[in-house]
Chain A
Amino acid sequence: MRSAVVLAAALALSSFAAGASSNWRAHVPGKEQELTDPLPQSADNAAAGQELYRRNCSGCHGADAAGRGHKPSLRSSHVRSASDGDLFWLLRNGSLAHGMPSWSLLPEPQRWQLIQYLRTLPE
């Protein structure tokens, strides 16, 4: 019983520590990094993503996605160089220790539409 409690505490701590790293891309499993957008690349999907961004993300990252307060810009090279799979992983898991919530509540197609919109942003 005692060892089970210790194991559970160790798992919780390791999960907390892993989530606490600011370099979230380092934690994306290889299989998920390789995920590609299953939706057709289209202006409609990007425009739908823009609307989803306005509703769900602009409050923190700003209407122009250039960041707000200490919330990061989504036009940065760090985001631009991330793979589709990296961004999809971040939207699913968030980075809770750094204030980025999980968006797993959004249906997967809407998360891909958001990513298509992010790809249209200039630097």
Chain B
Amino acid sequence: MHFLLTALFLSCGVAGAQELPYFVTYSHHLEEPGNLEIENKTAIAHPQDGNAFLGSAIEFEYGVAGWWTSELYLDGQTAAKEATTFTGFRLENRFRPLLREHWINPVLYAELEDTNGADKSLLEVVGHDGTSDLAAPVHESSPEKQREAELKLILSSDVHAWNLSENLIFEKNLSNQPWEFGYALAASHPLALHGVPRPGSFAPQNFIAGVEMYGGLGDRHAAGLHDTSHYLGPTLSYALPHGVSAMFSPSFGLNGNSLDHIFRLGLNYEIGQLFARER
């Protein structure tokens, strides 16, 4: 068994493609086929009427085909003066129905999630999500089951080195709750358009800067902006050597129902061609 695992990993390479600096928004760029990306996304915030928390999601993203990416997320959270708990998992798939680049590229996203009310990974904001959901003590919120199906329509374009991405989110709690809606928008641009022969660790070509905005759009019974939360913030990704990349974004709440700010950190490692055969 050890031999097989060793042989598997020896046959892998490290892949180092640049990541877009988005925490909530998806673009049309899927995982490269055969590559496995392991990523940690962390959200740190302090609700006014609750304890500071750190919500985290570990993501395993595998490129099944050029037009299909599959992911597993494991979520957890820790809150000041409260417990550190595992809060659930998500399974998602993304499909590109059109196999060429167009001025706008659609991607279909389907997710099943089984989390509890203490989940604070903030991978999306939908419906009437707000500070009160995040301020509840863990012992009160964790018994609440969130078995949800989520669909997203991802639209994304690459125009003159800009990436522009728009997501519409439709989420349904399977325990007879109404459909909830949300959105995420993002734009980004690399700091350098040309490569250099021997880029240093801090060469501009290793950075992509952008801006991201996301929020809820109510539910089927009360669609719109009333009683919803929204966030906006700059974001930056940095491709480190050896297949590692890091992301950082401070997001700022845009209304009274939002957290004042969320600090987001991401760390990503990509293993190239997990099951490739050597010639």
Which A residues are closer than 8 A to B by beta carbons? 12, 15-16, 18-20, 44, 47-52, 55-56, 58-60, 62, 66-71, 92-102, 104-110, 113
Closest CB-CB distance, A115 to chain B, in whole Å?
Answer: 12
* B34 / chain A contacts, CB cutoff of 8 Å: 60, 99
* A68 / chain B contacts, CB cutoff of 8 Å: 273, 276, 278-279
* B32 / chain A contacts, CB cutoff of 8 Å: 59-60, 101
Give chain B's interface residue range (CB within 8 Å of chain A).
35 or more
Closest CB-CB distance, A1 to chain B, in whole Å?
Answer: 18
* B205 / chain A contacts, CB cutoff of 8 Å: 110
* B161 / chain A contacts, CB cutoff of 8 Å: 107-108
Rounded to whole angstroms, the CA-CA distance of A48 and B33 in the bound complex is 25
Known: A15-B98, A19-B100, A60-B34. A105 touches B18 (CB 8 A): yes
Which B residues are closer than 8 A to A by beta carbons? 13-18, 20, 27, 29-30, 32-35, 63, 65-67, 96-101, 158, 160-161, 163, 190, 192-199, 205, 239, 272-273, 276-279
Contact B272 A60 (CB under 8 A): yes
Tally of A-B residue pairs with Cβ under 8 A? 122
Instruction: Give the 10 A-B CB pairs with smallest separation, nearest first.
Output: A19-B99, A59-B272, A96-B66, A47-B197, A48-B195, A59-B15, A104-B158, A69-B276, A99-B33, A107-B161
Known: A56-B17, A96-B65. A69 touches B273 (CB 8 A): yes
Closest CB-CB distance, A99 to chain B, in whole Å?
Answer: 4
**Among the listed A20, A93, A99, A109, which residue makes an inter-chain contact with B193, where contact means beta carbons less than 8 Å apart?**
A109
* B14 / chain A contacts, CB cutoff of 8 Å: 59
Closest CB-CB distance, A49 to chain B, in whole Å?
Answer: 7
Contact A15 B66 (CB under 8 A): no
Rounded to whole angstroms, the CA-CA distance of A86 and B198 in the bound complex is 27
